[in-house]
Amino acid sequence: MDRNMTRKEFLRMAGFGVFTVFLLPSLKKLNIFKKSYKEARHYEKLAG
């Protein structure tokens, strides 16, 4: 195993982990918000 690549891969994986931890909750919140917004508009159209 090449030691130089190991450090590079470790940094990349750590960055990806941090990226995922910060981004996934916000993405879920955005998806839930968009879904509820679309549902609200859908019910608005049904109500007239």
pLDDT tens-digit readout, 10-46:
899 999 988 888 888 777 777 666 666 677 777 777 7
What whole-number distance in Å separates Cα of residue 15 and Cα of residue 38? Answer: 34
Instruction: Give mean pLDDT, residues 1-17.
Output: 82
pLDDT band, very low/low/confident/very high, at 1 (cuts 50, 70, 90): low
* Residue-level pLDDT at 2: 59
Rounded to whole angstroms, what are the CA distances from 41 to 4, 32, 44? 54, 14, 5
* Residue-level pLDDT at 6: 84
Instruction: Give mean pLDDT, residues 1-18.
Output: 82
